[in-house]
Amino acid sequence: MRFGIGKRQHVEAGRKRTKIAGFALVALGMCVPGAAIAGVGADAGAEVFSRCKACHALERNRTGPKLCHVVGREVGVIEGFHYSDALRQFGGVWTVERLSAFLESPTVTIRGTRMGYGGVKDADERAHLIRFLQVSAQDPSLCP
């Protein structure tokens, strides 16, 4: 017993404090900007992105187009990058779903693409990579 409180009351008080602390953490997470609340996925996605760096960068074109703001962007529109005919004809917007399908198997999703990478087969890794790209787009130091 503590301060005249029975064991049951002490346990219930502890549960209330735990719930309050949990709500406070959730509320705090809603107030902290982008990269700080990246949550599960963005850090793991940065690791997956390291495999992409041979051809891609966030902020500039390399062998592949820059990837800043890729989620939600029209396909094949980065100025100064020469896309394959297949990719330009694919058209549309890079939604999370389309990007995931492309990243899983680029040459199957867009036959004729020049992207020679075999793909990110693991669904969790793809989700983390896409989350990393989304969070990076919110950070002006990474995506001006």
Instruction: Give the pLDDT confidence of 91-122 residue by residue, as tens digits.
Output: 999 999 999 999 999 999 999 999 999 999 99
Domain-located, residue 49: yes
63-69: long-range contacts (C-beta < 8 A, 24 or more apart)?
Answer: 64/115, 67/133, 68/136, 68/137, 68/142, 68/143, 68/144, 69/137, 69/143
68-77: long-range contacts (C-beta < 8 A, 24 or more apart)?
Answer: 68/136, 68/137, 68/142, 68/143, 68/144, 69/137, 69/143, 70/94, 70/99, 70/133, 70/137, 71/95, 71/96, 71/99, 71/130, 71/133, 71/134, 71/137
Does residue 57 sit in the same domain as residue 127?
yes
Q: Which residue from 102, 96, 97, 98 is spatially nearest to 114, judged by alpha carbons?
A: 102
What is the token pair recorded at 134? 């989304």
Could you tell me the pTM of the whole model?
0.72
Does residue 11 sit in the same domain as residue 26?
yes
What is the token pair recorded at 142? 């990474």
Residue-number span of the structural domain to which 3 is assigned: 1-31
Does residue 64 sit in the same domain as residue 20?
no
Does residue 49 sit in the same domain as residue 2?
no
The CATH number assigned to the domain holding 84 equals 1.10.760.10
Does residue 20 sit in the same domain as residue 49?
no
2-23 average pLDDT score: 50
> Residue 22 gets which letter from DSSP?
H
Does residue 97 sit in the same domain as residue 118?
yes
Domain-located, residue 61: yes
Does residue 57 sit in the same domain as residue 102?
yes
The total domain count for the chain is 2
The residue type at 124: D
% of the chain with per-residue pLDDT over 70? 72
Domain-located, residue 64: yes
Does residue 75 sit in the same domain as residue 20?
no
Does residue 16 sit in the same domain as residue 70?
no
Does residue 13 sit in the same domain as residue 78?
no
Torsion angles phi and psi, residue 86, rounded to 5: -60, -45
Q: What is the pLDDT of residue 16?
A: 52
Q: Which residue from 114, 133, 142 is spatially nearest to 46, judged by alpha carbons?
A: 133
Does residue 60 sit in the same domain as residue 120?
yes
Q: What is the pLDDT of residue 64?
A: 97
Does residue 46 sit in the same domain as residue 90?
yes
